[in-house]
Structure 1
Amino acid sequence: MMDEEAIGWVIRTRDPEFADWEAFTSWLEADPAHAGAYDALMAADADLDRIVPEEPVTIAMPANDPGERRWRPMRWLGGGAVAAALVGVVSIGLMNRSDIYTITTRPGETRTIALDDGTRVDLNGGTTMRFDRHDARFAALDSGEAAFTVRHDAADPFRVTVGDAVFEDAGTVFNIVHTASATRIGVSEGKVIYNPDAEAIALPAGRALSEDDSGLRVMDIATDAVASWRQGRLTYANAPVTQISADIARSLGVQLTATPGAGATRFTGTIRLDRDPARFFGQTAPLMGLKAVQQGDGWLLKEGDGPPR
């Protein structure tokens, strides 16, 4: 367990954007053995005599660092000295061989990632994901929406980490949305296992799962509605407008809010995406029985005069 934690800290601290030094220091101080395990893994990572330059170099510091510091050539430090040295200093060798990388799309932007194992991941707008250069069977959806077309391997299943949850494929095409308040997954082919080491809920094609503050819900979903944003449409069955608004904003890259009354309404049907906001909202708002009002650079959905069309 301790070695796994140490590996996790090695991976995190070699990220040039890592800034959680307080938590890292607390972990080191919690048990004297932590520093030894971390040192051993770090020392095994590179030959410092080859990596560290003869002259000091300035390295990028976390945004909360009080000022510039410099790395001075040294042999690897042991025990608690590593903790002190690493608070504010990132190993040059580790920065040069970071395995975990992040891909982010802007709202309205889409991107396709082809992994080495044959899996394809389509990122919708406003999405942040992490991948591992040395492990094509790993992905983490930090926020946003992504569709997965997975090459199945029963001996080495593809897993997606989403917050505290894990989704494991079983020969699958599926779509995941992850926001600060909820996680939703829909499966169009094969099967996905939700938290295989805990609840182990099987989601075959045509099933969906939603997790939010109220708990878990498993429901039916039309397979052609899964990841329909890739075909330029959004398909819903009794979905709240608050959810639909977030999906529209992510897909089109527009600022969109809804009044409490409009947000509480529900909609069943298909919305065609259109990059022209005025044309899109002119057609879509009445379809949902709502009105759309432009407010500066954004749009507001409000209650309309009639029922959804």
Structure 2
Amino acid sequence: MMNEEALGWVVRTRDPDFADWDGFTAWLEADPAHASAYDAMMLADSELDSILPPEPVVMPVAANDPGVRTRRPLRWIGGGAIAAALVATVSIAVLNRSDIYSVTTRPGETRVIALDDGTTVELNGGTTMRFDRKDARFAALDMGEAAFTVRHDVANPFRVTVGDTVFEDAGTIFNIVHTDAATRIGVSEGKVIYNPQAEAIALPAGRALAEDAQGLRVMDIAPAAVASWRQGRLVYANAAVGDISQDIGRSLGVTLTVTPGARAMRFTGTIRLDRDPALFFAQAAPLMGLTAVRRGDGWLLQEGPTKEGNGPQS
């Protein structure tokens, strides 16, 4: 949404007939992020030129005439389809700028990113994120899990983009999980706003939100359970084993499959992480009422507890 607004202002302000400078100034001052978005759209000018049709010939005007701006104006042409193409092209150009960089962790690997504004982002295994060297208040979680300890700034809130969703900090420690099937966030301190320009759902400490094919669900969560993977444990309250299995795979770096029956089961409790998968599944599988079976380089979770004394099957 912000990129579309910024692109609209780029188009208008580069028109020699533009006169709404008061409106443009008000838009810039409404949110400190607007100026960065506007600059980004201007930087993407070369990308836009390649998709705009040729301009009609215009007679040159003396550059020193009052009010004349010699910069070539951009134009909205051909209705919504061309406008959408422009926005899409600019979005790609912005995300591919040299100041946008990606950080990826392997399954089982963790990494801490300290941003210039004092914010800390801790990436769990199997995670990909994007950051902006010119804007420490921006982050995008493309896949995986990350915990955020944010330095609060009312005038310039920290925002995390997850697909089409935006989470805005309001002085906060929180954890986000993003997979192909769902996005989950838990807040342990402060408050996060879900999609501040749309639903604007406030999530204070002790609240969580899940977004999946079934819609949005807001629920309670123990603050100590948020990002508990950082302390070497996984804490759950009535969580689906399907979600738990993904958390295990990220944290241990193992390939884990789950039978349909086991996937639908739910678990409440604390699971201690162990870097040795055999030791981990020996205590975790029975705790969840499941059997862990070694399958080649990976593991299978299925219904039924492991027989006493046998340990994980192979």
One fold, TM greater than 0.5?
A: yes
Q: What SS is found at the alignment partner of 1:243?
A: helix
What does residue range 16-55 of structure 1 map to in structure 2 within 5 Å?
28=51
Cα distance change, pair 4–243 in 1 and its aligned pair in 2 (3 A): same
Name the SS of the counterpart of 2:199 in structure 1: coil
Which residue number in structure 1 is paired with residue 7 of structure 2?
A: 4
Q: CA deviation at 1:28?
A: 1.9
Tell me which residue corresponds to 1:122: 122
CA RMSD of aligned residues (A): 3.3
What is the match of residue 297 of structure 2? Answer: 297
- Is 1:179 matched up with 2:202? no
Deviations 1:157-203 (A, max 9, x none): 00000000000000000000001110000000000000001100000
Relative distance call for 1:192 and 1:290 in structure 2 (3 A) is same
CA distance in 1, matches of 2:289, 2:135: 47
Per-residue Cα deviation, 1:179-236 (whole angstroms, up to 9, x for no partner): 1110000000000000001100000000000000111000000000000000000001
Identity %: 73
SS of the residue corresponding to residue 155 of structure 1 reads: coil
Cα distance change on mapping 1:32 and 1:181 into 2, 3 Å: farther
State how far apart, in whole Å, the 2-side matches of 1:101 and 1:107 are: 20
Q: Distance between the aligned counterparts of 2:208 and 2:166, measured in 1?
A: 15
Contact 1:11 1:100 in 2 (8 A): no
Deviations 1:66-106 (A, max 9, x none): xxxxxxxxxxxxxxxxxxxxxxxxx9xxx9x7110000000
* Residue correspondence of structure 1 range 79-118 to structure 2 within 5 A: 98-118=98-118
Q: Is this contact kept in 1: 2:121–2:148, CA < 8 A?
A: yes
**Partners of 2:157 and 2:170 within 8 A in 1:** yes
1:216 aligns with 2:219: no
1:234 pairs with 2:237? no
After superposition, the Cα gap between the structure-2 partners of 1:40 and 1:217, relative to the gap in structure 1 and judged at 3 Å, is farther
Counterpart residue type for residue 283 of structure 1: Q
Classify 1:297/1:197 alpha carbon distance in 2 versus 1 (closer, same or farther; 3 Å).
same
Letter of the structure 2 residue corresponding to residue 249 of structure 1: G
Q: CA deviation at 1:32?
A: 5.9
Q: 1:174 to 1:12 in 2, by over 3 A?
A: farther
Aligned residues: 243
CA distance in 1, matches of 2:42, 2:284: 47
Structure-2 residue corresponding to 1:133 = 133
Aligned equivalents of 1:12, 1:300: Cα separation in 2: 52
Alpha-carbon distance in structure 2 between the residues aligned to 1:168 and 1:3: 19
Contact in 1 for aligned 2:165/2:195 (Cα 8 Å):
yes
Moved over 2 A (4+): 1-14
User: Structure 2: how far apart are the matches of 1:303 and 1:40?
Assistant: 67
Counterpart residue type for residue 179 of structure 2 = T
Distance 1:233 1:12, change over 3 A: farther
CA–CA distance in 2 between the matches of 1:293 and 1:12? 56
Pairwise CA distance, 1:4: 2.5
Q: TM-score, normalised by structure 2?
A: 0.71
For residues 104 and 284 of structure 1, what CA distance do their matches in structure 2 show? Answer: 27
Q: Which amino acid aligns with 2:7?
A: E
Find the aligned partners of 2:225 and 2:296 in 1 and give their Cα distance.
32
For structure 1, the residue ranges without an aligned partner over 5 or more in a row are 15-23, 34-38, 42-90
Deviation at 1:10, TM superposition (A): 5.6
Corresponding position: 1:277 with 2:277: yes
Find the aligned partners of 1:157 and 1:179 in 2 and give their Cα distance: 25
Q: Whole-Å Cα distance in 2 between the matches of residues 166 and 2 of structure 1?
A: 16
Superposition deviation, residue 108 in structure 1: 0.3
The 3 A distance-change label for structure 1 pair 122 and 225 is same
Q: Which is greater in Rg?
A: 2
Q: SS in structure 1 opposite 2:51?
A: helix
Aligned to 2:163: 163
Unaligned runs of 5+ in 2: 11-39, 56-70, 74-92, 307-314
